[in-house]
Amino acid sequence: MGEYVLEMNGITKIFPGVKALDNVSLKVRPGSVHALMGENGAGKSTLMKCLFGIYQEDAGEIILDGQTVKITSSKQALDLGISMIHQELHPIRYRPVMENIWLGRFPMRGIAVDKKAMIRETKKLFEEIDLNINPEVLAGTLSASNLQLVEIAKAVSYNSKIIIMDEPTSSLTDNETEHLFKIIRQLQSKGCAIIYISHKMEEILKIADEVTIMRDGQYVGTWPSTELTTDLIISRMVGRDLTNRFPQKDYTPGEEVVLRVKDLCSPLPKSFQHVNLELHRGEILGIGGLVGAQRTELVEAIFGLRAIASGTIEKDGKEIKIRKVADAKKNGIALLTEERRASGVFGILSVLDNTVIASQKDFARNGVLMQGKRYKAAKESNAQLNTKTPSMETLMQNLSGGNQQKVLFARWLLTHPDILILDEPTRGIDVGAKYEIYTIMQDLIHQGKSIIMISSEMPELLGMADRVMVMCEGRVTGVLDRKEADQISVMRLATKFVQ
């Protein structure tokens, strides 16, 4: 084997209206962790999809173990020893975990699937990477973080020489991230190379040996991680210095309470119980907590997506009944969901349709859609968010993750809400796009709107929230003012009920 297990030279990929990759190169050494970084839309995922056979490059060559290869399908990539953990998870929710792992290569006994062998092999695989999940449970019953760990186990099961990890920790807790790093080190010791895509700077500097940075579909450079700092990475990614990660706070929230939740309980015993919260006009209320704290379940109940057993919700001092999403929208409440692919994005529809879908009735007269009005509103809303898209007719699935998130933001802004609930609003979004989202949040606050923001990223929670409400195992364990909130106090409250 030569110095590199993989060389991608001069890779170019053109989609209608956009040059996604322009003469990009990547060289990966065996047994190394090679980070691939860049803003959303920089072309990272597109480059990896060319390597994994999902896309075919229009120019350039791929050299694997010194041999030039043409990879035309994912099956061929797997056969060549390349596996990929995708950023967006697509489990078959109504089938067991083990079937999700061995799909297309079930162990057989004659013409029948050997279920016992499949259970045995799955348990053996899970033991290898110290994963405590029952192989026979339905994939759909697992949390997002456990699904991510199952995907990692599946990639390991192929015994690949190269594993591509696209945002593998986006839904993992700090402990689960440490667990992933342990698995990565195990794989490295066997000579496996990891191509690691992440926006989390601290992670990259901790786990990567080398870092390749891309910008606007072009190769910027490759450096040993020891020569890089967070600020250096950011300036090379965005082509400019970002002096502050968060906009300066130039406002003071009002005293007026726009939303009051009193003693809200879920019908499910292990979900949120006896929750009280107050949201003031012109305030960003952060909700912190670990995976399993029931933060998402709480905000989905406020938005009418989940049942409420008891308790009340007041808007502007009057009690409101929210039994379905339409009730929440009518009362000026909008929700940007955590899992954009599962519960937000309509991939086969255009950017235009995705933007206006929640406010469609505003663009109809006598039952007929006014196309010009729809187009103008969608274009203006996306322009406000600096969404990068070739046109309003581009299919949503062709946008990068960060730009999809911006379209969802644009969608809810068109409903003219007073209260925006943002569940992990910058998950899987790069530093530059994050700053834009933060600026938009502040603009909304200046307009007198109020925001509830769930975030698992501590710097974001502390940098953006005026107050931080912390939850643990379905209960509120404390509310911290901006001045008293720090990493230690939030974590202490987040683990209050955990033994």
Which secondary structure element, helix H or strand E, spans residue 51, and what is its range? helix 44-51
Looking at per-residue pLDDT, the higher value among 457 and 228 belongs to 228
Whole-model pTM?
Answer: 0.60
Identify the pLDDT of residue 340.
59
Where do the H-state alpha helices sit in 303-430? 325-330, 340-343, 351-356, 371-384, 401-413
- Which amino acid is residue 264, in one-letter code? L
Is the pLDDT at 6 greater than 90, yes or no?
yes
- pLDDT, tens digit (0-9, with 9 covering 90-100), for 277-318: 999 999 999 999 877 789 999 999 999 999 999 999 999 999
* Listed residue (36, 318, 330, 291) closest to 174, CA to CA: 291
Beta bridge mates, 63: 7, 68
Average of per-residue pLDDT across 32-56: 89
Three-state secondary structure of 269-292: CCCCCCEEEEEECCCEEEEECCCC
Looking at per-residue pLDDT, the higher value among 409 and 164 belongs to 164
Is the pLDDT at 498 greater than 50, yes or no?
no
- pLDDT, tens digit (0-9, with 9 covering 90-100), for 62-86: 999 999 999 999 999 999 999 998 7
Average of per-residue pLDDT across 204-223: 93
Identify the pLDDT of residue 341.
57
Contacts 24+ apart (CB under 8 A), 123-132: 125/101, 125/153, 125/156, 125/157, 126/153, 128/156, 128/186, 129/153, 129/156, 129/183, 129/186, 130/179, 130/182
Average pLDDT of the chain is: 87
Is the pLDDT at 240 greater than 60, yes or no?
no
Domains of the chain: 6-91+142-238 (3.40.50.300), 257-494 (3.40.50.300)
> Residue 250, Cβ neighbours under 10 Å: how many?
8
Label residues 40-72 b or e (16+ Cβ within 10 Å = b). Answer: bbbbbbbbbbbbbbbbebeebebbbeeeebebe
Identify the pLDDT of residue 85.
86
* Listed residue (44, 80, 239, 260) closest to 162, CA to CA: 80
Is the pLDDT at 242 greater than 70, yes or no?
no
* Listed residue (401, 299, 408, 428) closest to 344, CA to CA: 408
- pLDDT, tens digit (0-9, with 9 covering 90-100), for 451-468: 999 998 888 899 999 999
Is the pLDDT at 10 greater than 80, yes or no?
yes
Identify the pLDDT of residue 486.
86
Residue 31 has phi, psi (to 5 degrees) of 70, 15
Looking at per-residue pLDDT, the higher value among 190 and 212 belongs to 212
Label residues 372-390 b or e (16+ Cβ within 10 Å = b). Answer: eebbebbbebbeebebbbe
